[in-house]
């Protein structure tokens, strides 16, 4: 189990941090977990979490993977982007309230330009979801956050 605060490993804040704990990580993979809360940000009226939120759970696990490695190197946690997912499959439509989900992310590839692919799984009794996430961690993420200067429209008197 990893004792680093999640808020120091993820470039998310407050209620947008969905995973609750990093169980383990190494050079190629990460294991995280959360218990579905009935009062969560995306909870349905019955307290369950829609299965499509699983992609965000996987993405946050991948972000935690990057954050753990940055922390090990003594680097700041960098912003990354989820570019897309492929082959998201889940055998349920929602994750029931109170269910403990474990998320496993395995790095398939990552190049020097910051592009990466992770095979991810979510498991709980009777629940299994899988997806392949395409992610990008740019070398200078601030370029993606700054707003472009607006050009003037026409001439001013």
Residue 97, classified by CB atoms within 10 Å of its CB into exposed (0-12), middle (13-18) or buried (19+), is middle
Cβ–Cβ under 8 Å, residues 102 and 125 = no
| Res 141 pLDDT > 90 | no
Comparing CA positions, the residue from 156, 153, 152, 107 lying closest to residue 134 is 107
Predicted pLDDT at 116: 94
pLDDT tens for 34-93 read: 999 999 999 999 999 999 999 999 999 999 999 999 999 998 888 889 999 989 999 999
Q: CA 26, CA 3: separation in Å to the nearest integer? A: 15
Q: CA 143, CA 7: separation in Å to the nearest integer? A: 23
Cβ–Cβ under 8 Å, residues 10 and 63 = yes
pLDDT tens for 84-140 read: 998 999 999 999 999 999 999 999 998 888 899 999 999 999 999 999 999 998 877
Predicted pLDDT at 79: 87
Q: CA 56, CA 82: separation in Å to the nearest integer? A: 9
Residue 3, classified by CB atoms within 10 Å of its CB into exposed (0-12), middle (13-18) or buried (19+), is exposed
What is the domain class of 6-140 according to CATH?
A: alpha beta
For range 5-25, the mean pLDDT: 86
């Amino acid at each position: 189990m990893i004792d680093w605060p999640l808020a120091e490993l993820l470039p998310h804040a407050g209620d947008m941090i969905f995973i609750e704990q990093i169980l383990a990580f190494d050079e190629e993979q990460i294991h995280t977990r959360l218990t579905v809360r009935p009062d969560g940000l995306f909870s349905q009226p019955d307290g369950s979490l829609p299965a499509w939120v699983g992609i965000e759970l996987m993405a946050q696990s991948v972000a935690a993977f990057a954050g753990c490695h940055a922390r090990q190197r003594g680097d700041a946690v960098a912003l990354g982007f989820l570019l897309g997912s492929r082959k998201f499959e889940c055998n349920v439509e929602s994750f029931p309230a109170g269910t403990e989900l474990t998320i496993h992310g395995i790095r398939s590839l990552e190049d020097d330009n910051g592009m990466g692919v992770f095979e991810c799984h979510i498991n709980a009794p009777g629940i299994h979801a899988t997806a392949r996430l395409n992610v990008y961690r740019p070398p200078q993420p601030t370029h993606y956050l700054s707003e472009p200067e607006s050009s003037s429209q026409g001439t001013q008197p």
